[in-house]
Amino acid sequence: MSLGTTTSLAFKRTTDEKTGSIVTQLTPDSSVCNRNYFYQKCFTEDGNKLLISANFDTERNYHLLDLHNETAIQLTEGKGDNVFGGFLTTQDDALIFVKNNKQLIRVDLKNQEHSVLYEVAKGWVGYGTWVPNSACTKVVAIEIKDTDYMELDSWQKFAQFYHQKPRCRLISIDLKTGQRTTIFEENIWLGHPLYRPNDDNTIAFCHEGPHDLVETRMWMIDEKGDNMRKVYEQSEEESCTHEFFVPDGSKMMFVSYRPNTNKRQLCSVDAQTLAFKVEAEMPACSHLMSNYDGSLVVGDGSGTPVDVADNTGHGIENDPNLYLINLSDASIRPITEHNTSWKVLNGDRQINHPHPSFTPDDKSVLYSSDVNGTPAIYLATL
Ligand SMILES: [Mn+2]
């Protein structure tokens, strides 16, 4: 197989008898497939095409799935695709992704033509998910000193890396010129860089590591590197995670949790004033994502978090449901069971995470699960 190859898929539809949701399995059982990271753009604006990762070729590469024709066209090839961080441009004309922790590549959706937008400097490694501004003219990214870097292929290494205090820098990359600007650099593990939608001057990032050890996870900083501020002052026992900007830029939402309870809170801060609000009490969801204006939120029920130091104190029963949280009438209901195993597969810690998000019309949610044996991608109607 190679670039431009079309793979036929046979979607499988079932109806959840408890909730009435129609669940469509988009990718076949024998393949290893996943959706991208939950806040990265994966649907074209019209909702007809979807960016996925699949090993239809020998490697895990990007493909553009056509939801009407039930086919997928191959966009990338060879080893080394970061299959979580890639995203479709705002203009729907390209995929942008990182290859071999080294090159930021643009792939034209029409002819799969590749162009290198940026190359990581010698002595550094490109890390994690890189996120564009709304106009898709820049990305924010994290780079780690190569002498400090290691492959994070288990949750043990995830914890170890935190204690190592790697040299990290938060950077912005101009996609036209490939020019890099360092916003902030420190001997502390940084992750989750985000441009606030429609406001390039506000950039968010996190202190990464076991959630119960990190004192303050979420931070914001001006694009020029000034005005670094805590997004939210966590209490002693509180862990925060999976922060994201509501796509209209109004708020940052995140999950807050404490030991010895399976209760979680969906919290937010106003993206401008940082005014804090508990939006909802909810079941043990790990990841959340909202619709455009933040009125609807989807979450994936989970078990004991793996990214904490005190697993015993945080031990809870597994919750296999996807939940729809409607913030306009404060209701929460299960959509369907995702039933994923959450297992690390071949050193990939994220592949069996559901990472749910809404389709552009808010009528379905997209998620990953290995319920049928191998990681696959699903849509469930609301
Ligand atoms: Mn995850």
pLDDT at 62: 98
Distances (CA, A) of 351 to 56, 357, 380: 16, 15, 19
**How far, in Å, from the CA of 374 to the mean position of ligand 1?**
17
Does position 144 have pLDDT exceeding 90, yes or no?
yes
Q: Do residues 54 and 74 touch, judged by C-beta distance below 8 A? A: no
DSSP assignment of 101-115, as one string? TTEEEEEETTT--EE
**How far, in Å, from the CA of 176 to the mean position of ligand 1?**
30
Does position 314 have pLDDT exceeding 90, yes or no?
no
Mean pLDDT of the chain: 96
Nearest to 37 by CA among 173, 193, 161, 156: 193
Centroid of chain to Cα 316:
23
pLDDT at 378: 98
Q: Do residues 376 and 29 touch, judged by C-beta distance below 8 A? A: yes
Quick one: pLDDT band at residue 345, thresholds 50, 70, 90?
Answer: very high
**How far, in Å, from the CA of 110 to the mean position of ligand 1?**
30
Q: Do residues 101 and 120 touch, judged by C-beta distance below 8 A? A: yes
pLDDT at 107: 98
Handedness of CA 377, 41, 70, 345 (dihedral sign): negative
Quick one: pLDDT band at residue 198, thresholds 50, 70, 90?
Answer: very high
Quick one: pLDDT band at residue 49, thresholds 50, 70, 90?
Answer: very high
Residues forming a β-bridge with 9: none
**How far, in Å, from the CA of 129 to the mean position of ligand 1?**
11
**How far, in Å, from the CA of 338 to the mean position of ligand 1?**
14
pTM of the predicted model as reported, rounded to 2 decimal places: 0.96
- Mean predicted confidence (pLDDT) in 153-159: 89
Residues forming a β-bridge with 43: 50
Taken in order of first residue, the domains within the chain and their CATH numbers are 120-231 (2.120.10.30)
Per residue in 246-276, pLDDT (tens digit) is 999 999 999 999 998 888 999 999 999 999 9
pLDDT at 64: 98
pLDDT at 89: 98
Does position 1 have pLDDT exceeding 90, yes or no?
no
**How far, in Å, from the CA of 115 to the mean position of ligand 1?**
29
Does position 382 have pLDDT exceeding 90, yes or no?
yes
Does position 99 have pLDDT exceeding 90, yes or no?
yes
Task: Please state, in angstroms and rounded to a whole number, the distance separating the CA atoms of residues 167 and 185.
Answer: 7
The angle at the Cα of 300, spanning 297 to 304, to the nearest 5 degrees, equals: 135
Task: Please state, in angstroms and rounded to a whole number, the distance separating the CA atoms of residues 271 and 199.
Answer: 10
**How far, in Å, from the CA of 38 to the mean position of ligand 1?**
8
Quick one: pLDDT band at residue 211, thresholds 50, 70, 90?
Answer: confident
pLDDT at 312: 82
Query: Residues, the chain, total?
Result: 382
**How far, in Å, from the CA of 125 to the mean position of ligand 1?**
21
User: 111 versus 330: which is more confidently predicted?
Assistant: 111
Quick one: pLDDT band at residue 308, thresholds 50, 70, 90?
Answer: confident
Task: Please state, in angstroms and rounded to a whole number, the distance separating the CA atoms of residues 116 and 96.
Answer: 10
Nearest to 87 by CA among 117, 33, 56, 50: 50
pLDDT at 307: 80
What number of other Cβ atoms are within 10 A of residue 179's Cβ? Answer: 11
- Mean predicted confidence (pLDDT) in 334-352: 95
The SS3 of residue 298 is strand
- Mean predicted confidence (pLDDT) in 152-175: 94
Does position 311 have pLDDT exceeding 90, yes or no?
no
- Mean predicted confidence (pLDDT) in 77-88: 98
User: 95 versus 153: which is more confidently predicted?
Assistant: 95
**How far, in Å, from the CA of 355 to the mean position of ligand 1?**
6
